[in-house]
Amino acid sequence: MPKPGPRTTHKHSDDFKATAVRLSQLPGVEVQDVAASLYIHPFMLSRWRKQAREGHIVTKGVEVNKEIEAELKELRKIKKAYERLQVEHDLLKIAIEFTSARRATSMPSSPTTKGPTR
């Protein structure tokens, strides 16, 4: 349920928008990662990118901090590694369930006698 009262919206400066657009244009960086790091919705960043293409937001001359660039690239690497580990974890869980079920069905319910039968 929404809060009562007037709806608040955040106004971002043109410099902030231009920097966000420049960060999202770096190679190997996704829009979702930039939006998450700046605490904005990815749709808003996509809209700013469109406005920059149309010339409403000027991104020329905006310098991107190298630390931020490196941080975003590292975040992307960590996310990829995390997704790979999740897949591996799921596969291991399936393998454990499979071997446990196989042992349960292959084990005899009563001990067998090893002597000669007459």
Domain ranges of the chain: 14-105
* Residue 95 token pair: 């393998």
State the pLDDT at residue 112.
56
Residue 25: name the closest of 1, 60, 56, 75 by CA: 60
- Ranges in the chain, pLDDT < 70: 1-3, 5, 7-9, 64, 107-118
State the pLDDT at residue 109.
59
Question: Three-state SS for 98?
Answer: helix
- Alpha helices per DSSP H over the chain: 14-24, 31-38, 42-54, 66-106
